[in-house]
C-alpha cells in the first residue's frame, strides 16, 4: 500500500496513538464480560468456590 496518496499526498498511515482509545473500550467490554460470566457461574453453581481450583 502507498504510504501517501500519489495524487494529493494525503497520508494513509494513522498517527501514533490512533488505536489507543479502542484499548479502553476493549478493556471495558472484556471486564463486563468477565463479571457477567462470573455472575452466571455463581448463579448456576452456587456451592462451587474458587478454593476448589486449588484444593480439588
Ligand atoms: Zn488523494
pTM: 0.58
Return averaged pLDDT per consecutive 10 residues of the chain, 56 residues in all.
Answer: 94 92 96 96 86 76
From ligand 1's centre to the CA of 12, what distance in Å?
A: 10
Residues surrounding ion ligand 1 at CB below 5 Å: 5, 7-8, 10
Query: Does any domain span residue 5?
Result: no
Query: Does any domain span residue 42?
Result: yes
Query: Does any domain span residue 43?
Result: yes
CA distance 44 to 11: 53
Query: Does any domain span residue 8?
Result: no
Domain count, the chain: 1
What is the pLDDT, as a whole number, of residue 50? Answer: 75
| C-beta separation of 12 from 5 below 8 A | yes
Tell me the chain's radius of gyration from C-alpha atoms: 23
What is the pLDDT, as a whole number, of residue 48? Answer: 78
Burial 42-55 (b: 16+ CB within 10 A, else e): eeeeeeeeeeeeee
| Residues of the domain holding 33 | 23-55
From ligand 1's centre to the CA of 1, what distance in Å?
A: 13
CA distance 41 to 6: 56
Amino acid at each position: 500500500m502507498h504510504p501517501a496518496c500519489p495524487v494529493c499526498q494525503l497520508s494513509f498511515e494513522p498517527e501514533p496513538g490512533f488505536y489507543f482509545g479502542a484499548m479502553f473500550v476493549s478493556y471495558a467490554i472484556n471486564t463486563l464480560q468477565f463479571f457477567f460470566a462470573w455472575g452466571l457461574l455463581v448463579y448456576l453453581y452456587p456451592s462451587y468456590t474458587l478454593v476448589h481450583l486449588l484444593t480439588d
